[in-house]
């Protein structure tokens, strides 16, 4: 199977490096000047793209691939797919982003399915950093596709010697686990940045996972998916490592510093989108951490007030 990756950012390039070790890969980016000149991403300095990777700025070439991976930020995915005119009927389309679209409240596979209804959407998600994948460090991800046959085919086609993919048909669970963990990671960063300690972070992660699970199960996810790589696994990684952009954003907020505006922080828009969904389904009272993250990141309340609001909630059973 031929594979095209749309998106020359850190994650798309890392996937091309891993998958291109032993198979041909087409990597598309809007600006290929640095990639073509140096065969490496400035975000992954020192890691060269394999010879099997063809770099192109001609997006039409993706229509020749059997599998197309969309490695674009979540909040730009809908605009991106609306702007490109590609005949992708009967192909497997794999989203490689995490979150909910703020405008439509859709997940990435729904956005792909709306644009190409005759294609088969899937999502690749789980605990991973681009630099780890690019350097060939062992990484395990979830490949979720509602069509079990296509999912099995994708699992074989996209796995590498260092990138192990576990298959699932629970697309909703895989999407929501990957989306909501970013919200909780911002909260975890706030806790550490504010000097509240590791015990507070552990409590936040535990209650955050309970909150994530309540919301995802209400949306139709399966509990075993949430306990897997795309849920619990990704939550642990992003809440405990400063490689996580969402965690670092929270860290800055908690410390009273100005977060880096150049960083893509998917958890900000996701918190707002999830809150809208929670209000729609009448479960907003069960989403206190998400609500506080949305208010803090939008500047509606300060960190001290958010902590006070969470700590003063009525006592209850676990």
Which tokens in the block code for residue 168? 């699932």
- Distance (Å, whole) CA 17 – CA 53: 8
HSE toward the beta carbon, residue 164, CA cutoff 13 A: 5
The CA–CA distances, whole Å, from 314 to 279, 288, 317 equal 20, 12, 10
User: How many beta carbons lie within 10 A of that of residue 115, not counting itself?
Assistant: 18
Q: In what order do the strands lie in the sheet with 92-95?
A: 53-56, 25-28, 3-6, 67-70, 92-95, 120-125, 139-144, 163-168
Any bridge partners for residue 53, and if so which?
Answer: 25
Which tokens in the block code for residue 54? 């063809």
Q: Which residues in 211-220 are b (16+ Cβ under 10 Å) and which e?
A: bbbebbbebe
- Distance (Å, whole) CA 172 – CA 170: 6
Catalytic residue among 181, 276, 295, 316: 181
Q: How far apart are the first and last CA of the chain?
A: 48
Q: Is 181 tagged catalytic?
A: yes
Quick one: DSSP state of residue 159? -
Are 303 and 253 within 8 A, CB to CB? yes
Any bridge partners for residue 70, and if so which?
Answer: 6, 95
Which of 142, 282, 160, 120 is CA-nearest to residue 221? 142
Quick one: DSSP state of residue 194? T
Burial class (CB in 10 A: 0-12, 13-18, 19+), 166: middle
The number of helix segments (H) and strand segments (E) in the chain equals: 14, 8
Catalytic residue numbers read 181
């Amino acid at each position: 199977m031929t594979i095209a990756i749309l998106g020359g950012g850190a994650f798309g390039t890392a996937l091309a490096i891993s998958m291109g070790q032993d198979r041909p890969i087409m990597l598309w980016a809007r600006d290929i000047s640095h990639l073509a000149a140096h065969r490496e991403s400035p975000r992954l300095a020192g890691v060269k793209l394999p010879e099997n990777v063809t770099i192109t700025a001609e997006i039409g070439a993706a229509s020749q691939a059997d599998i197309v991976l969309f490695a674009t930020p979540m909040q730009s995915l809908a605009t991106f797919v609306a702007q490109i005119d590609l005949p992708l009927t009967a192909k497997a389309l794999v989203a490689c982003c995490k979150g909910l679209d703020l405008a439509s409240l859709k997940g990435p596979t729904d956005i792909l399915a709306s644009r190409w209804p005759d294609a088969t959407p899937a999502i690749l998600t789980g605990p991973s950093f681009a630099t780890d994948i690019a350097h060939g460090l062992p990484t395990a991800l979830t490949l979720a596709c509602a069509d079990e046959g296509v999912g099995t085919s994708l699992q074989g086609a996209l796995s590498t010697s260092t990138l192990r993919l576990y298959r699932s048909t629970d697309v909703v669970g895989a999407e929501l686990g990957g989306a909501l963990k970013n919200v909780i990671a911002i909260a975890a960063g706030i806790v550490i940045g504010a000097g509240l300690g590791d015990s507070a972070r552990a409590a936040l992660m535990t209650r955050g996972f309970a909150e994530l699970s309540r919301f995802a199960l209400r949306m139709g996810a399966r509990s075993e998916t949430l306990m897997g790589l795309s849920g619990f696994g990704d939550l642990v990684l992003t809440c405990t490592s400063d490689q996580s952009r969402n965690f670092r954003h929270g860290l800055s907020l908690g410390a009273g510093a100005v977060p880096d505006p150049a960083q893509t922080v998917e958890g900000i828009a996701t918190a707002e989108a999830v809150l809208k969904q929670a209000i729609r389904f009448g479960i907003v009272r069960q989403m206190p951490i998400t609500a506080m993250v949305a208010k803090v990141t939008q500047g509606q309340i300060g960190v001290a007030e958010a902590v006070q609001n969470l700590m003063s909630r009525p006592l209850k059973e676990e």
